[in-house]
Structure 1
Amino acid sequence: MTTAASNNSVPAAAVREISRRRTFAIISHPDAGKTTLTEKLLLYGGAIGLAGSVTSKKEQQSTSSDWMAMEKERGISVSSTVLQFEYNACCVNLLDTPGHHDFSEDTYRVLSAVDAAVMVIDAGKGIEAQTLKLFDVCRRRGVPIFVFINKMDRPSRPPLELLDELETVLKLAPAPVNWPLGDGPRFRGVFDRQKGEVNLFEKTAHGAFKAPLEVAGIDDETVRASLDEDLYETVTSELEMIDGLTEPLDIEKVIAGEQMPIYFGSAMNNFGVQNMLESFLDLAPAPTGRFNNGEMVAPTTNNFSGFVFKIQANMNPRHRDRAVFIRIVSGVFERDMQVVDQRTGKKVRLANAQKLFGQGRETLDTAYAGDVLALIGNYNFLIGDTLTSDPKVTYDEMPRFTPECFAYILNNDTAAIKRYRSGMEQLMKEGVAQAYTVHGSSQAVPMLGAVGPLQFEVLRARLESEYNVPTRLETPPWSVVQWFKENEPDTNRREQDPPKVHLPSGAAIARDQDNNWVVLLSSKYMVSVLHDRNEHLTFRDHASE
């Protein structure tokens, strides 16, 4: 591996700005408390005055990261959100992501744009299915993992048991930064192992918690008086055990993906959140580069470069605009600068750049490597596009996903056909679903494929609320897709005709949005039947080679 030349570097002032950036995502299984933790981090960062509660009750303060109508109604996150705030000497770029499996494609793309991830674990449940999937993506991408074990104010599994599960399942060495003092009604705070301090919390009449009382040492009389004798003996015994069972925290091992810092607390009640935030910002890496044809492009490289990892239509429905989210990989962004979109080869002036805070926005004149830039307007960018002032740089960061379900979203009102087409065109550019044209079908609109069925419900809800288009959902009989090509191309076959395929019962041929041929099947069982009948073809179960 080689690194971009150091003599082609940004000025010293820009180097300092880049070095203080921390860009990370929060990931979790649904209901582990991810969005609640996000809100509390923003509260500590002074970015919001009142942390919202993730609940469907209309009278609750809504969260900054969940701004769609559907998110507020259901109390779930269905879109990724970028939130920037200052804390101590750091400029923090926090990317909140959906936890629900059906939106994992959006989450995976966000993970391409971050330098670290905080994984939230429910203390009562431990590692759950979606958590493990997201962890695997982080590991493949080399993203350092920090773990926040949440909901310690509720009855929880023993912390040593949770530690053992994390090490066994994730195959990373655990390094507890703090340790819980009890759980559920007996939860009294956390012990900071790095500082040797106990943070005690006192509940007030309205359910809020006073600022932590810091006491040097677990043996202090104030600590003993705050814990009953059994709890004190349990905690001191646990601390002795983890001193012998775990390795000291080593930041180089964390960055290398060999060790994970672990924090215990309760996001809802602010137990251990500030402790985690300050420690994380101290340990997390500054912006890292990305590979361009095997060469690492350093963040301090003078040439501007970045890639599109998310597109969001109608963040301001009044203007029908789109937000194009760009992770800046290198250099400094300046408003009105010209760059090249490597996909099209065209020069583009980046005029309307803004800094987003959930749905809020403000004009942005300057941004640095590590920041997430939002371009507002009708830019003709697609997810995965590289924007750069260096024509030799192209990033290949975006993963492609295999749909697990299919549906047609059909217009119910002929008078709304223009709005329907416009809405579908804009929403499909967000990349939440893939389009398929079924060969020989009389259906006038493409069939959609997605990771989970909730994506179709979101698309329908947004067509209704943002474009005033009533729709209906029709589910075709297929659930599995296989891409294929001929082992020996038939030179007599017309391009618009599919290769010869011996189809199992109920199967169909289609083209994906990149004009690749696919076979649609009704069940995974039929895959082996398809392969056995077509030895003259090569099959794969994902879009990319």
Structure 2
Amino acid sequence: IAFVRICSGKFERGMEAMHVQGGRKIKLATGTTMMADDRAIVDEAYAGDIVGLFDPGIFSIGDTICTGKKPVQFAGIPTFAPELFARVTQVDTLKRKQFVKGMEQLAQEGAIQIFRELGAGMESVIVGVVGTLQFEVLEQRLKSEYHVEVRRQPLPYTDIRWIVNEPGTIDIPGLSLTRDTLRVEDMRGGKLLLFTSPWNIDWATDHNKELKLSEFGNVEF
């Protein structure tokens, strides 16, 4: 279930709306309100109300849903930089689907941030967290909810920066970077750089004058 706040207008069960970030129309078949363990189906809701929508895996924190001819998109919620990084792989390669599904859903919840090297698949992912406890929660939830055991390999990266240049205006593979700087992308396709020290960040900006970096994701410049 994805919880949404109605900012204006009226929600009606079964109405069609535009999922702006996904670029497609969806049917809001069922609205739900929750109080402790009690759930109730909502036929109508108005500005200020919070309803739960069935999420087939398309919603992320900060997404906008709207009706009308002209799509409305609110500013994205800034994504803060994680401080600890590790490479996570599944122990049983036959459980790849469960591993990918679990990682993506936990990332959508905001419990972790996941990245992958440019051009790589989801066989192993780089996980970024704020505290070590998040790694332990990740491993436990993958095991209990998705029946997947994983290996965790700590990585030496200490800093992460989002590349905020307009798409196509910079050659990311051709950037002049130190050998221990890693090019990655997030779930939304945003391009980032992982650094092992602030000195490497200065190297990247000094040797690539056109490069624009940000400590936060989903920020408009």
Structure 1 and Structure 2 fold alike (TM over 0.5): yes
Which residues in structure 2 correspond to 1:517-536 (within 5 Å)? Answer: 517-536=191-210
How far has the Cα of 1:451 moved from its partner?
3.3
Q: How does 1:155-304 map to 2 (within 5 A)?
A: none
Shift, 1:328, TM fit = 0.8
C-alpha distance after superposition, 1:182-208 (max 9, x if no partner): xxxxxxxxxxxxxxxxxxxxxxxxxxx
TM-score (norm 1): 0.36
Q: 1:431 Cα shift?
A: 3.3
1:498 and 2:173 are equivalent in the alignment:
yes
The letter of the residue matching 1:326 is V
CA contact (8 A) 1:329 1:370 kept: yes
Q: What does 1:422-433 align with in structure 2 at a 5 Å threshold?
A: 422-433=101-112
The partner residue of 2:39 within 352, 361, 365 is 361
C-alpha distance in structure 2 between counterparts of 1:339 and 1:486, whole Å: 31
**Judging changes above 3 Å, is the alpha-carbon distance between structure 1 residues 516 and 358 closer, same or farther for their aligned structure 2 residues?**
same
- Equivalent position SS for 1:463: helix
Q: Deviations over 1:501-523 (max 9, x none)?
A: 131x6322223334444321113
**Structure 1 regions of 5+ residues with no counterpart?**
1-322
Give the secondary-structure state (helix, strand or coil) at the position aligned to 2:99. helix
- What residue in structure 1 maps to residue 90 of structure 2? 411
- Residue type matched to 1:519 in 2? L
Higher relative contact order (CA 8 A, sep 6+): 2
Structure 1 position 421 matched with structure 2 position 100: yes
* Residue 508 (structure 1) aligns with: 182
Determine which structure has the larger helix proportion and give its number: 1
- Following TM superposition, by how much is the alpha carbon of 1:326 offset from its aligned partner in structure 2, in angstroms? 0.3
Q: Deviations over 1:18-53 (max 9, x none)?
A: xxxxxxxxxxxxxxxxxxxxxxxxxxxxxxxxxxxx
- With 415-424 and 434-443 compared, the bigger mean Cα shift is at 434-443
Give, as a single letter, the amino acid of the residue that structure 2 aligns with 1:472. R
Corresponding position of 1:147: none
Quote how far apart the aligned CAs of 1:477 are: 1.1
Going from structure 1 to structure 2, the CA distance change for 1:388 and 1:469 (only over 3 Å counts) comes to same
Secondary structure of the residue aligned to 1:423 is: helix
User: Is the 1:485–1:539 contact (alpha carbons within 8 Å) kept by the matching residues of 2?
Assistant: yes
Q: Distance in 2 between matches of 1:416 and 1:338?
A: 36
Report the secondary structure of 2:144's partner residue.
Answer: helix
Contact 2:87–2:126 (8 Å) recurs in 1? yes
User: For residue 362 of structure 1, what is the amino acid of its counterpart?
Assistant: A
TM-score (norm 2): 0.80
- SS for the counterpart of 2:212 is strand
Q: Deviations over 1:458-487 (max 9, x none)?
A: 222111111111222221111201234779
3-state DSSP class of the match of 2:62?
A: coil
Cα distance change of structure 1 residues 485 and 346 upon mapping to structure 2, 3 Å threshold: closer
Q: Is 1:399 matched with 2:73?
A: no
**Alignment RMSD (CA, Å):** 3.0
Once the two structures are aligned, what percentage of the paired residues are identical? 33
For residue 418 of structure 1, report the CA deviation from its aligned partner. 2.6
Tell me, yes or no, if the aligned pair for 1:511 and 1:518 is still in contact at 8 Å.
yes
Q: What is the aligned length?
A: 217
Residue 332 of structure 1 is matched in structure 2 by: 10
* CA–CA distance in structure 1, aligned partners of residues 5 and 132 of structure 2: 29
Alpha-carbon distance in structure 2 between the residues aligned to 1:527 and 1:375:
41
CA positional deviation for 1:397? 4.7
Q: Please identify which structure carries the higher strand content.
A: 2
Deviations 1:244-265 (A, max 9, x none): xxxxxxxxxxxxxxxxxxxxxx
Kept in 1, the 8 Å contact 2:182–2:194? The answer is: yes
Aligned to 1:165: none
Quote the residue 2:138 is aligned against. 459
Q: Please list every run of 5 or more consecutive structure 2 residues that lacks an aligned counterpart in the other structure.
A: none
The CA distance in 2 between the partners of 1:501 and 1:507, in whole Å, is 10
Q: Secondary structure at the match of 2:53?
A: strand
Q: Secondary structure at the match of 1:532?
A: helix
Question: What is the CA distance between 1:525 and its match in structure 2?
Answer: 4.4
CA contact (8 A) 1:498 1:517 kept: no
What amino acid is aligned across from residue 465 of structure 1 in structure 2?
S
Paired residue type of 1:501: S
Structure 1 position 443, deviation (Å): 8.5
